[in-house]
Amino acid sequence: MKPFLNVPFLPEDKYVDFLCQCAADLDSTYFSLLHSQILDCRTQIEPVLATSQAANIAGLKRLRGPKKYALLNSRFYPPDLLTDPGFAKSILDSLDQCLDHGVLDGIVYCDHYLLQALADGSPEIAAELEAVPSINTMPDSVHKIEAQLTYIGETGFKPPGKIILDRALNRDLDQLAGISLTLHQDLPGIKLEVLANEGCLPYCPFKLSHDSYIALANMECRDLTRNFNFDIGCMRLLDEQPHRLLQSPFIRPEDIDLYLYHVDTIKLCGRTLGTDFLINAITAYRARRYDGNLLDLLDAVAWLADRLYVDNSLLSFDFANLLSQCDNRCDRCGFCRELFDSITHPLPLMIKDLRVTAD
């Protein structure tokens, strides 16, 4: 079996050891470019340690084989930073350091302004790196993808080695098959990838705004996004109607072979949930089977895993095919609610022991 997983990288010894053990199944890995300015699309309020970049590089050097991509995929950056040559230079210095150590193949970006600023700042570094459009650019059609590739080419960055297709295509297998067939014929050198375990709402109406609020939170070092989502966002909807998580465009471990008919690789997420979560998820997707709580594998709805047990083993073998026929008319169809009720039960309330253990 050829390598098929794209997984997060964290510079923790236990996790790096684990990744080295399953390197034969890893096509690529992606990591936060640790920097004084938060550059990627995950909220990080804690200060970045000066030693973190060195730890990142040391861990990445141990992991041989998979391609390595640095995340520069925040939704946007302050205009005064984008027009400040010092900002681009500081990022380019970090990228150059990774290149010098042989632990970088490309970047994942969302803001094309940043991509152009980096290309202008160092055409030489840009020419050595793939520019991979983030899934949050929502590549959901052949024309959009071809246009994106043209714009990347005009910056001087290398073309991407892969395209991460929009998450919505996970629930439209006919459209996924059509796009994949065309792109594999027209762009045979570029792999196609789908994101398996995010678990957010389908066609989430909060997505673009949420990504923007994360960018703002990282600029201000003040995160309000979680409370915001509980009060008036997607977490409120899922708390009130948890059966809707079955509509989410996740891909179960049991279903990945169905998708590998059309795409080349499977992306897993969840790097903010820690190494135990990631090891569990990667193990399940490598085994193509999981007999536990489905919520233990999903990133965006991990907060529900302490409340609900969704028995993944009770979902049928044709679950992905069934959901791909959904017309999103929940007002006249009770399928997801009935299925959810039959495979789910509430978990008893647990109060975590947060006391510090004395030496």
Hey, where are the domains in the chain?
5-346
Ranking 62-71, 109-118, 130-139, 322-331 by mean pLDDT, the lowest is 322-331
What's the rounded mean pLDDT across residues 242-253? Answer: 94
Say what the pLDDT of residue 33 is: 86
* Structure-token pair, residue 99: 């290149």
Tokens representing residue 244 in the block = 């809707």
Predicted TM-score (pTM) above 0.85: yes
Extract the tokens encoding 286.
């490598």
- pLDDT category of residue 349 using cuts at 50, 70 and 90: confident
Of 73, 139, 63, 132, the residue nearest 101 (C-alpha): 63
**What tokens were used for 42?**
């995950």
Mean pLDDT for 301-318 is 94
pLDDT at 354: 54
Cα separation, 352 vs 345, whole angstroms: 20
Pick the closest to residue 297 from 259, 330, 253 (CA basis). 253
Distance CA 347, CA 345 (A): 7
218 falls in which pLDDT band (50, 70, 90)?
A: confident
What's residue 50's pLDDT? 47
127-141, 225-239, 284-298: segment of lowest average pLDDT: 225-239
Instruction: Give the model's pLDDT for residue 148.
Output: 98
Q: Residue 45: which pLDDT band, with cuts at 50, 70 and 90? A: very low
Task: Supply the mean pLDDT for the chain.
Answer: 91
- One-letter amino acid identity for 3? P
Split at pLDDT 50, 70, 90, the class of 353 is low
Backbone angles phi, psi at 213, to 5 degrees: -65, -35
Tokens of 193: 């990838």
* For residue 40, pLDDT beyond 60: yes
pLDDT value at residue 333: 85
Q: What is the pLDDT of residue 102?
A: 98
Q: Model confidence at 359, in pLDDT bands (50, 70, 90)?
A: very low
The residue-averaged pLDDT of 252-262 equals 97
Instruction: Average the pLDDT over each of 32-36, 144-148, 197-201, 245-249 and give the range with the smallest value.
Output: 32-36
Secondary structure percentages of the chain, helix, strand, coil, to 5 = 50, 15, 40
Residue 46: predicted pLDDT? 52
CATH architecture of 5-346: Alpha-Beta Barrel (3.20)
- The tokens for 323 are 């959901």
